[in-house]
Amino acid sequence: MTDGVGRDAEAVSKFVESFAAQLVEAGMQRMPARVFAALLSSDAGVMTSSELGEQLRISPAAVSGAVRYLTMTHMVSREREPGSRRERYRVHGDQWYEALTNREAIIKRWEGALREGVNSLGPETPAGRRMAETLAFFEFVESEIAEMMERWRTHREERFGSG
C-alpha cells in the first residue's frame, strides 16, 4: 500500500514508530513522541486530530493529550483550518530551535534558584559549593547554547535559505 506520493505506507509507519521509540528512550512520553514523529514525517507538516488518530490508530483523547504536551514544549503549534472550526497541528522546521530556546528560559529560572541556594547555604559549605558548581555548569551551558544557536541560524540560512 502506498500513500498519496507513492511512498510505502508501511515503511513510513515503521519509521514513525522507530523514531518515536528513540524519542521515548531520550525521555519523551510515548504518545507525544508518536504524534511528533507522525507530524515530522508528513509532507505538509500539518495534520488534524482525526488524521493523526487514523494514522497512529489512537483515540481522540490520546491525540489531545499528546498535542497538549507538544504545544507546551513548543514542538508543535495549533492552528485553525481555514474556513473551519477544526484545529490542525503543525510541526515547524525550526521546532528544535524553539524547543531549545524554551529550555533556555527554564535554565535561567534554575540559575536564579541555585544562586538563592548558594546564598542560603553559604558558599563555603559543602552544599553551597555543590550548588555553586551546579550554577556554574548551567551558566556555562547557557552561554554555549546562545553561541550555538547563533551559529545554527547562520548555518540554516546558508543551507536552506531564509524562511
State pLDDT tens for residues 9-47.
Answer: 889 899 999 999 999 998 999 999 999 999 999 988 999
Whether pLDDT at 96 is above 80: no
Contact 20, 33 (CB under 8 A): yes
Mean pLDDT along residues 67-83: 88
Architecture of domain 9-90: Orthogonal Bundle (1.10)
d(CA 68, CA 76): 9
Three-state helix/strand/coil letters over the chain: CECCCCCEHHHHHHHHHHHHHHHHHCCCCHHHHHHHHHHHHCCCCEEEHHHHHHHHCCCHHHHHHHHHHHHHCCCCEEEECCCCCCEEEECCCCHHHHHHHHHHHHHHHHHHHHHHHHHHHCCCCHHHHHHHHHHHHHHHHHHHHHHHHHHHHHHHHHHHCCC
CA distance 115 to 23: 32
* CA 109 to chain CA mean position, Å: 19
Residue with cell 508518536: 34
Task: Give the mean model confidence (pLDDT) for residues 96-118.
Answer: 84
For residue 3, what pLDDT band results from cuts at 50, 70 and 90? low
Sign of the Cα torsion 145, 147, 150, 151 reads negative
Rounded Cα distance between 67 and 89, Å, is 8
User: Given pLDDT bands bounded at 50, 70 and 90, which one contains residue 81?
Assistant: confident
Rounded percentage of the chain residues whose pLDDT exceeds 90: 61
C-alpha cell at 121: 547555604
The per-residue pLDDT for 123 is 93
**What pTM does this model have?**
0.72
- Given a cut of 80, whether residue 154 has pLDDT beyond it is yes
Q: What is the mean pLDDT of the chain?
A: 89
**Side chain identity at residue 7, one-letter code:** R
